[in-house]
Structures are given as C-alpha cells and as structure tokens.
Chain A
Amino acid sequence: MINYLVRYYDRLLTALLEHLEIVLLAMVFSVILAAGLTLLCQFSRRFARLLVHGLSVLYSVPSLALLALLIPLTGLGKTTAVIVLVLYNQYLLLRNILAGLDQVDPGVVEAATGMGMTRWQLLRQIKLPLARKAVIAGLRIALVSTVSIATIAAAINAGGLGTVLFDGLRTMNTAKILWGSLLSAALALGADRLLALAERKTE
C-alpha cells in the first residue's frame, strides 16, 4: 500500500484534486439553488410541501441510475456529475432549512409580522438567524453525502477518487481500493470538521 502511494502519489493527488473540484462546484451550485428555492417556498406552504415531496422522490433514485438517465441529455463527464450531486443536495438542504424555519417560535413570527416586517425582512432578520443550527446541519449532511456520491461519478468519466476506487475493483488491486476509499472518507470527515469549526466560530 505504501509502495503504491510512493509510486503513484501524483496520480492519487490528481484524483483527490479532481474530487475536491467536483465537490466544491456541486456545493456552490447546491447552496445557490437551495437559497432560491427557500425564497420561493416563503410564498406558499403548499408549494414548499410539494417541492420537498418531489425532491424526496428524486433522492430515492439510486445515484448510478440518475447519472445514466442524464447521459443522453448532458453527456458523460463532470457536468452531469455536478448536476446529479446538486439535485440530491436539494432534498438534504431544503428539508433541513425549511424544518429549521418552521421551528421558529410562532409568537416571535407573529410579533415581527405585527410590527410591520415584510416577508423578506422576517426571513433575513428573524427566521434565518434563528434557524442557523438547522441550516448548518443541512450543509454538513449535504457535504458528506456529496463527497461520497462523487466517487460514483467516476462511472461516467467525471474523474475523482472514484476512478482510483473503480480501477482497483476492476483489477482486484487492494491498494487502489483502499486508497480510493480512505482518501474519500478522509475528505468527508475533514470537510465536516471544517464546517463544525465554522459553526462554533459564528456562535
């Protein structure tokens, strides 16, 4: 195993960086899309319920199947992988954010509305800060899930640590399988710790 690392460290490093790139891209687009959807959900409770339900159905589709479904539309490679990851994240993010917003004390919301806060002021100044914990929890789950699902993306030539892992599986190379899994696990844990630290910093 160490031999493999010494001989192919550049290959592992490239895979790791590719993986990181996919994860970062997916997270950035996920957060932007989730923010937009959260805003839309403020206008109608019915829409919010339907949306989360729809996203949960989507989330239940196996990742390999979803990747395969998108290939005719967006082809092989990174774009398709990022789209799939963003779609999966919407369920994790939206469910947590909306649950957090709903848990804000109704008395607080009524007082704020009664004082003439607009929907936007209520969301930004009152509801979001009070739902901060749920929002960050959603981000952490989404991040860990993105790191792990991104390995599957290697199946459609998107690169990343999955390439090492799948190569290892095909050729029964234990070192490759282990390095692929270990690095993606380490990446997931490290990213999660980072967000946990950020959470404590902002308290």
Chain B
Amino acid sequence: MTAIEFQNVSKRFPGAGRNALEDLSFAVSEGEFVTVLGPSGCGKTTLLKLINRLYEPDSGRVLLFGEDIRTADLVQVRRRTGYVIQQIGLFPHWTIGENVATVPKLLKWDKARIEARTDELLRLVGLEPEEYKKRYPSQLSGGQQQRVGLARALAVDPKIMLMDEPFGALDSITRGKLQRELLTLHRETGKTFLFVTHDIDEAFLLGSRVLILDGGKIVQFDTPEAIIRCPAQGFVRSLVDAAKERGRFWEAYL
C-alpha cells in the first residue's frame, strides 16, 4: 500500500525567485524508511511540511494512504502523523509526562489510559518513567529531550512519522545511539518514516531508500546501494565522493 504520494507538487514562497519545490512526484510504500537528503535550501523541510500541511502546495496533490490531504480535516491530518523536529520543541512549562501526553489529552483519553500510555512510551524510548515523568524539559540533556520528542510524536500511534533533522543538534555519540534505536523502533513498529537530513552518512545508514533533492528537484530516489553503485549525476557523485573522502581520512588512522 502506498503511504505517501506526491503528484506533480510545486511550491513557491512569496517573494522567492524560484520554486522551492518543482513538479515533485514520488511514492513511498507503507513501512518504508525513506531519508530525504540534500543541502540547505534544497526544499527538504518544505517537502516534509507539505505532508502535515504546515505548508500548502501551489499546485499538485499530496496523498496519504490514497486520500488527498487537502480534502481531509487539517487537525486530523496532523494528529495522524508524528512530527519530530531538530529544535525538539518540548513545552517548557509541562513535565515530561505531560509533554508525552499532549495529543492523548487533546483527544480527551481517560486518565488511566493516558498514564499507562505515557509509561509505555517513555520505556520505549529508553527513559524510566518513574525517574523522568515528573521532571521538566530543562532538566534533561539534549539527547534525552529528543527521546521525549520522539515519544510525544508516537503517542497516538501514527502510521506515518515525519522527522526533520531530529538528531542535528546532538553530539555524534548520542546521535549514533539514537540512530540505531530508531532503526530498531522502525523494525518493531512497521511504521512509515520520512526522515530529513543533510548528513549523507545518516541518510545512507537509516534509509531503506534515499531521496536526494537539489534545487527543489529530485535528483535520485533509490536504495543506498544503487545510489553508491551508480550515482545519477554530478551532484550525487560529489556527495558520494565527499563521503568516501571522509572514510579514507579515518582509515588512515586505523
């Protein structure tokens, strides 16, 4: 089943010289982990925000499980998709437990159900509920905060997870740990992930397919192996070469 489909989607911001996204068409199957890779300003965040309707396309259609999201209820679309961003955006005046329970509370779940779900989610992201539930976001490290951000996005079991450079502000050790845990989470839940990053190592490590964007257009959309074996054009080749260069740098010290 197709989870996410773009049909000739274009987006231009007022006052911009060119389209942020130019006639984009692609499909993501249910259960895939797709990473969106590209330099700053290539339109990758815009692409993500078109899916939970933080932006609306100027032309074309976005479909989630075959349904045009423009005809669906805005709030419903957003609650059915988990959203994790680099700035994390935890609510500083709420405890960790309250943060995780944000959407269940909006949906007016009863207290016992919220309580049980909060504990379950915190355990899922590796935080002991008894220890963390009553704390405030400022008392947690960056990595722990993003774990909470992830738990909060998973709260009502959305089928699609949208992640915008969620590990971009974390140190490399924490990032590596969270990347591995995210892969495990993906395997266990079978959810569809769309993960935006500018880090080629991260994109190729996490993605079952990688969508490479440049200047608002899709340059290549394939499995990591296929991209490395035959890069579509100069831009992708230079990305891959840069990654190989880094690899050689480290090998020199081993």
Quick check: A116 and B91 within 8 Å, CB to CB?
no
Does A57 sit at the interface, judged by CB under 8 A? no
Q: List, in ascending order, chain A residues with CB within 8 A of B152's CB.
A: 115
Q: Which residues of B contact A115 (CB under 8 A)?
A: 78-79, 83, 102-103, 106, 152-153
**Contacting pair B52 A114 (CB below 8 A):** yes
Residue in A111, A118, A130 with the greatest tally of chain B CB atoms within 10 Å: A111
Cβ B89 vs Cβ A112 within 8 A = yes
Specify which chain B residues have a CB less than 8 angstroms from the CB of A105 in the assembled complex.
87, 89, 92
**Smallest distance from the beta carbon of B77 to chain A beta carbons, Å?**
8
Does B116 make an interface contact (CB < 8 A)? no
- Judging by beta carbons under 8 Å apart, are B93 and A111 in contact? no
A121 interface hit (Cβ, 8 Å):
yes
Min C-beta distance of B82 to chain A, whole Å? 9
* Chain A positions 105-162 with a Cβ under 8 Å from a chain B Cβ: 105-118, 121, 126, 129-130
- Kindly supply a per-residue 1/0 record for chain B positions 79-104, scoring 1 wherever the CB is within 8 Å of any chain A CB and 0 otherwise: 10001011111111100000000110
Judging by beta carbons under 8 Å apart, are B87 and A116 in contact?
A: no
Majority-rule SS of A interface residues: helix
Contact of A116 with B85 at beta-carbon distance under 8 Å, contacts A108-B92, A110-B54, A130-B93 already known: no
CB contact list, A91-111 vs B, under 8 A: 105-111
Give A90 to B142 CA distance when docked, in angstroms. Answer: 40
Q: Which listed residue (A107, A116, A129) contacts B89, Cβ 8 A?
A: A107
Contact of B76 among A113, A116, A117 (CB under 8 A): A116
From A110, A117, A126, A130, give the contact of B87 (CB < 8 A): A110
User: Which one of A108, A109, A114 has the greatest number of beta carbons of chain B within 10 Å?
Assistant: A114
B88 engages A113 (CB within 8 Å): no
Mask, B102-132, CB within 8 Å of A = 1, is 1100100000000000000000000000000
A149 to B103, CA, bound (A): 47
B53-81 interface with A by 8 A CB criterion: 54, 74-79
Chain B interface size range: 20 to 34
Q: Which one of A116, A129, A130 contacts B78 once the chains associate, using CB atoms below 8 Å? A: A116
Residues of A within 8 A of B86 (CB): 107
| Bound Cα distance A118, B149 (Å) | 19
Interface size on A, residues (CB 8 A): 18
Cα distance A110–B89 in the bound complex, in angstroms:
7
Per the 8 Å Cβ criterion, residues 58-117 of A in contact with B are 105-117
| A103 CB to nearest B CB, Å | 13
Query: Chain B residues near A107 (CB, 8 Å)?
Result: 85-89
- CB-CB under 8 A from B149, the residues of chain A are 111
Instruction: Let me know if A111 and B75 touch, CB within 8 A.
Output: no
B93 and A129 contact, CB distance less than 8 A: yes
Please tell me if the beta carbons of B83 and A111 are within 8 angstroms of each other in the complex.
yes
Does A116 lie within 8 Å of B92, measured CB to CB? no
Residues of chain B within 8 A (CB-CB) of A117 are: 106
Task: Please name all residues of chain B whose beta carbon is closer than 8 Å to the beta carbon of A121 when the two chains form the complex.
Answer: 106
Residues on A with C-beta less than 8 A from B103 are 115-116
How far does the Cβ of B190 sit from chain A's closest Cβ, in whole Å? 22
User: Is the Cβ of B91 less than 8 Å from the Cβ of A110?
Assistant: no
Contacting residue for A113 out of B54, B87, B93, CB 8 A: B54
Give the Cβ gap from B171 to chain A, nearest Cβ, in Å.
19
| Cα–Cα, bound, A19→B162 (Å) | 58
Interface residues in A34-67 by Cβ distance below 8 A to B read none
CA separation between A19 and B88, bound complex, in Å?
50
A111–B78 CB distance below 8 A: no
Q: What's the least CB distance linking B54 to chain A, in Å?
A: 6
Contact between B79 and A116 (Cβ–Cβ < 8 Å)?
A: yes
Give complex CA distance A73, B181 in Å.
70
Complex contacts, A118 vs chain B, CB 8 Å = 75
A188 CB to nearest B CB, Å? 31
CB-CB under 8 A from B83, the residues of chain A are: 111, 114-115
Residue of A nearest to B152 (CB): A115
A-B contacts besides A105-B89, A107-B86, A116-B76, 7 pairs, CB < 8 Å: A105-B87, A108-B89, A108-B92, A110-B85, A111-B87, A111-B88, A116-B103
A contact residues vs B (CB 8 Å cutoff): 105-118, 121, 126, 129-130
Q: List 8 A-B contacts (CB under 8 A).
A: A107-B89, A108-B90, A114-B52, A115-B102, A116-B76, A116-B78, A116-B79, A130-B91
